Amino acid sequence: MPKLSFVTLSDNDNYPVPAIKMLPEWYRSAKKYFEGGESTYKNCMPFFEGMYSGYVMLTPCDIEFYIENEIPKVRIEEEYDFFVKSRPPMSDFHTPFGYYDHHFAWKPQWGVESPSGYNILYTTPFNGYDVPFLNTMGIINNDKTSHPGSIPFFLRKNFIGIIKAGTPFLQVIPIKRESWESDNKVLDPESIEHFKPGTPRIQDHYRNVLWERTRYE
């Protein structure tokens, strides 16, 4: 099993954890079926796999956001002043709709060392539409450098409040670095058994027959 190492310059107990350990309560308590019997997202394995893949980094303290002269500002404990930095609008960058142009950057306490040949995808926690921030996404060759760098993020307009300590703010997912080529195919519907009338639901077939779970420890 490949192994990631999380590294830091200053010892702290705010360790990154497998994403599956931080599944939000709204997901855990969700129903699997609507009243009419149709499946909800709780039955969707691609949705679930995105949420549990890799590891998440957690905010080390409460972070308060407020608005001053129509510009978002941040207030944070002095000990963690390094963790969130304000930034002006990025020239020619398309700000996500519904977010402020003035934005911020996370300065993670932890870097990542990946095995040879593996990159790391950095993203907002998958399907985390309940949080008021949106990270820019990127991929780093972390088998060559473990420097955590900084991750720009945008604050949702009109959000005023506190992001609590221990909130997942960044999801990191290892991906094997390899080159690809592509082609195009038109499939014969008769060759796809689970598309035929009378067969089990596509979601059920995928979950029970096709899906292979990846583990993160």
Q: What is the pLDDT of residues 99-140, one digit of tens each?
A: 999 999 999 999 999 999 999 999 999 999 999 999 999 999
Whether pLDDT at 209 is above 90: no
Arithmetic mean of pLDDT, 53-57: 98
Q: Which of the 8 DSSP states describes residue 202? A: H
What per-residue confidence (pLDDT) applies to 117? 97
Rg (CA), the chain: 20
Arithmetic mean of pLDDT, 8-21: 91
- In the chain, beta strands by DSSP E: 5-7, 17-18, 55-58, 63-68, 71-76, 84-87, 103-106, 111-113, 118-123, 133-135, 138-140, 151-155, 161-163, 168-176
> Quick one: which of 100, 53, 60, 55 has its CA closest to 83?
60
Which residues make Cβ contacts (< 8 Å) with residue 104, sequence separation at least 6?
A: 72, 74, 84, 85, 86, 87, 133, 152, 153, 154, 155
Whether pLDDT at 5 is above 80: yes
Question: What confidence category does residue 73 fall into, taking pLDDT thresholds of 50, 70 and 90?
Answer: very high
Q: Which backbone phi and psi does 27 adopt, to 5 degrees?
A: -80, -45
Whether pLDDT at 205 is above 80: no
β-strand pairing of 84-87 with 71-76: unpaired
Dump pLDDT digits (tens) for 15-39. Answer: 999 999 999 999 999 998 888 778 8
More confidently predicted of 42 and 117: 117
Q: Which of the 8 DSSP states describes residue 33? A: B
Name which of 56-70, 72-86, 170-184, 200-214 the model is least confident about.
200-214
What per-residue confidence (pLDDT) applies to 27? 94
Arithmetic mean of pLDDT, 77-86: 95
